[in-house]
Every structure is written in C-alpha cells, then in structure tokens.
Amino acid sequence: MDDRPLTADRKSPSTVRRPSSGYLKAILAIAWKDLASELRSRELLSAMLVFALLVILIFNFALELDVATRGAVTSGVLWVTFAFAGTLGLNRSMAIEKDRGCLDGLLLAPVDRSAIYFGKFLSNLAFMFIVEAIVLPVYSVLYNVNLFNPGLLLVILLGSVGYVAVGTLLSSMAVQTRTRDVLLPILLFPVAVPVLVAAVKASSGFLQGLAFAEIAPYVNQLIVYDVIFIAVAFMVFDYVVEE
C-alpha cells in the first residue's frame, strides 16, 4: 500500500469537506456497501453467529448454568458473548476492506475521512445488533429466562454503541499491523472495560427488576462513555488511516 500512485488526497480533510448532505450520504453509502456485500456472502455474520452460540454453549458447561446461578450470571455471559463475537466481526470487516484494497479506494474518495469511520461504525453496529437479535431469543429459550425487557434492550443498544465505537477505531489500527487479528482483542479489551462493567451491572439490574434509580448511574456511564469515545474516534481517525 506504500506504492499507492496518487498523493492528491494528502491535503488536510477540511479542504475536501463536502456539503453536509454529501457527508451523510457518504456515511450511508459506506455502511450500505458493507451490508449489501454481507447479504450476498454472509461470511461475516454466519461466523459471528456460530461463534456466539458456541460461546454460550461452552458457558453452559463451564458454569453449570442451573436455575440458581443463572439469574446471577446471565448478564455476564451475554456480554462476554457479545464482546467476543464483536471482536470477531470487527476484525473481519476491517480485514476485508484491507485485503480487497477497498480501504485505499475509500481513502481516495473525495469525502471527509471521518465519514469512513462513521460508515464502518454503522455497519459494524448493524452486524452486532443482528447477532444480538438472534442470540437473545436463543438464550431465552435455552435457559428459560425472559430477556425481553425494554431496559435490557436499551443497555444492549448503549453498550454496543460504545464497544463498536472504540472497536472500529482500534480495528482499523490493528489491521495495518503485522500481527493483525491477534492484536485487536489485546488493544480493545482493556480500553473497553468501562463499557463492559457498566453494561453488565446495568443489565443485571434490569434483569433483577431493580428500581431505575439504582441502575441509572450505570446507564449514565454508558452514555458518557459512548459520547466521549465517539468524539475521540472522530478526532483521531484521520491519523489512523492517513498515508
């Protein structure tokens, strides 16, 4: 990728800024491109899904998920599953870009670099949501727990947003290194601890039917984390993809 012939795009992103409707369109176009190609190949989603179900299966044996322990560990098991399946998806979705040379193409496109970030963020988030939408009912059926709790769904939404926000940024870094796939979880997990802690606590609060006042601090934390890390990623993404 160092022999890329064109250097016309090395100007600072502000000089190539398009009208905001174009910016939004670019984001959606990138996200749509990912979703459309995924609809055809289904390689990423199927891998994430099978992996997620296997993780749940392993937890079943590892933790002896009987009725008594289930209540206490459900939220933990769910979030570990989402986090693991999430890294798998994040890694793959960036690796595809890189291997097919799409990333270089995208970087040449006359859009603000951050549009690429938000496009990838949206498609990664969509994959995560699809996996979650399948894992939740399966888990409910397998373990006879009712997971259709609006509070829990809100937490899953907020937690996934934060996780994917950092994950998209870090995976675009990891994919450009020598160790690639191995590096993403190592980079991502320690930084994502606050999302996971807050998400697990809030989820188990909702599952145990605690009063909202007791869960609110964790939900607030998730919102704060989401806002901060989307902002940070927006500011530094340029440095990660520049050539």
Partner 1 sequence: MKPQPLVLKILNIVSALLLAGAFAMAMWYAPVEKVMGAVQKVFYFHVAVAWVGMLGFLAAAVAGIIYLRTRDLKWDIVEVAAVEISLVFFLIAIALGSIWARPAWGTYWTWEPRLTTAAILEMIYIALLLLRQSLEEPEKRARFSAVYTLVGSISVPITFLSIRFSRTIHPVVIGPGGSADTGMMPEMLATMFVSLAVFSVIFVTLFWHRIRLGQMAEKVEQARLKAMQ
Q: What is the DSSP letter of 193?
A: H
* H or E element, residue 63: helix 43-63
* Closer residue to partner 1 in complex, CB, 2/66: 2
Structure tokens at 19: 């009208």
* Closer residue to partner 1 in complex, CB, 134/197: 197
* Closer residue to partner 1 in complex, CB, 138/241: 241
Please choose, from the candidates 27, 1, 31, 50, the residue with its C-alpha nearest in 3D space to the C-alpha of residue 243: 1
Residues found near partner 1 in the complex (CB under 8 A): 166, 169-170, 173-174, 176-179, 183, 186-187, 189-194, 197-198, 201, 217-218, 221, 224-225, 228-229, 232, 236, 239-240, 242
Q: Closest distance between partner 1 and the C-beta of residue 147, in Å?
A: 23
DSSP assignment of 207-230: HTT--HHHHHHHHHHHHHHHHHHH
* Closer residue to partner 1 in complex, CB, 128/195: 195
Q: Closest distance between partner 1 and the C-beta of residue 90, in Å?
A: 15
Q: Closest distance between partner 1 and the C-beta of residue 165, in Å?
A: 11
Identity of the residue numbered 2: D
Contacts of 171 (CB under 8 A, 6+ apart): 90, 91, 93, 94, 184, 188
* Closer residue to partner 1 in complex, CB, 150/190: 190
Q: Closest distance between partner 1 and the C-beta of residue 243, in Å?
A: 9
Q: Closest distance between partner 1 and the C-beta of residue 43, in Å?
A: 25
Contact, 58 vs 142, CB < 8 A?
Answer: no
